[in-house]
């Protein structure tokens, strides 16, 4: 389980979006079978310009409860303060983790980076993860390999989703995937539609935001179930595309 955020901004990013988002580490929605809200097992922030760059990752087992919790982490503050200081623009992914499989270590804390792609996933794919690697980490590797093999973003995503549907049970495949010129948001859930959601909006400062909770008062659109949207750096949106 987790909370995910992605943004595209051609101007230097307004960092209050990351500051507001961090509060979900304490208050963020969880599945109905969990009584306590929040996502405190780790966090990560990735910036994508020409290539993905890790701006900061912390995890419970390596960094302790204060730093793993984005709402109390000095590392998280430093990451978004550096974004402001360096006037960074482009694509940003941020993730707050509530672990469901895999160790609570940085290696299993999204956003993940591989072959110029960055990735976050919210959901459980039963039987895909193991003691060492989370299901999300393996899911990402499958996507990167298939996209490279097919040389077609949409086809690669379709083939991996189809394979998982045929071979695994899951509650959600909902993910964010990005390289330096494309941001993808895919939503696929079996139940708990209010939890496994992706909403998107464009702000007055021309920032496209993809998020799972309506933190800000914007004109939100919701990605339908089993659907993909693809956004480029000019904020042109393709989709929703049924998968």
The residue segments making up the domain with residue 222 are: 2-242
What would the pLDDT profile of 71-117 be if each residue is shown by its tens digit?
A: 999 999 999 999 999 999 999 999 999 877 668 889 889 999 999 99
Beta strand residue intervals within 38-174, DSSP E = 42-48, 52-59, 90-97, 112-114, 117-121, 125-126, 169-170
pLDDT band at residue 31, thresholds of 50, 70 and 90? confident
How many CB atoms neighbour CB 96 within 10 A? 33
Mean pLDDT of 186-204: 95
Instruction: Name the domain count of the chain.
Output: 1
Euclidean distance between CA atoms 112 and 137, whole angstroms: 7
Q: What is the CATH number of the domain that holds 79?
A: 3.60.20.10
Buried b (16+ CB within 10 A) or exposed e, 126-158: eebbeeebbbbbbbbbbbbebbeeeeebbebbb
Structure tokens at 159: 């083939």
Structure tokens at 233: 């750096």
Entry pTM: 0.94
What would the pLDDT profile of 51-68 be if each residue is shown by its tens digit?
A: 999 999 999 999 999 999
Q: How do strand 182-187 and strand 175-178 relate by DSSP bridges?
A: antiparallel
Mean pLDDT of 191-209: 93
- Say what the pLDDT of residue 107 is: 86
Q: Is residue 145 classed as helix, strand or coil in its secondary structure?
A: helix
- Say what the pLDDT of residue 101 is: 66
Task: Kindly report the three-state secondary structure assignment for every residue of 27-72.
Answer: HCCCCCCCCCCCCCCEEEEEEECCCEEEEEEEEHHHHHHHHHCCCC
Smallest CA-to-CA distance from 184 within 243, 105, 135 is with: 243
Say how far residue 80 (Cα) sits from the centre of its chain.
17
Q: Is the pLDDT of residue 133 over 90?
A: no
């Amino acid at each position: 389980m987790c909370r995910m955020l992605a943004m595209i901004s051609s101007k230097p990013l307004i960092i209050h979006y990351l500051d507001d988002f961090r509060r979900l580490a304490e208050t963020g929605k969880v599945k109905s079978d969990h009584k306590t809200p929040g996502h405190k097992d780790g966090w990560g922030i990735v910036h994508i310009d020409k290539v993905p760059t890790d701006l900061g990752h912390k995890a419970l087992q390596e960094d302790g409860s204060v730093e793993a919790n984005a709402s109390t982490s000095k590392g998280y503050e430093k990451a978004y303060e550096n974004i402001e200081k360096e006037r960074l623009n482009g694509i940003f992914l941020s993730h707050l983790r509530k672990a469901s499989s895999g160790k609570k270590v940085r290696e299993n804390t999204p956003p993940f980076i591989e072959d110029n792609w960055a990735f976050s996933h919210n959901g459980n794919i039963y039987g895909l993860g193991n003691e060492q690697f989370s299901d999300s980490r393996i899911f990402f590797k499958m996507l990167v390999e298939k996209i490279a093999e097919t040389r077609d973003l949409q086809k690669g995503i379709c083939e991996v989703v189809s394979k998982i549907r045929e071979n695994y049970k899951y509650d959600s495949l909902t993910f964010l995937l990005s390289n330096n010129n494309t941001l993808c948001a895919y939503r696929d859930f079996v139940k708990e539609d209010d939890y496994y959601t992706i909403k998107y909006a464009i702000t007055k400062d021309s920032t496209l935001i993809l998020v799972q909770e309506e933190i800000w008062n914007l004109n939100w659109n919701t990605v339908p179930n089993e659907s993909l949207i693809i956004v480029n750096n000019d904020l042109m949106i393709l989709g929703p595309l049924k998968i």
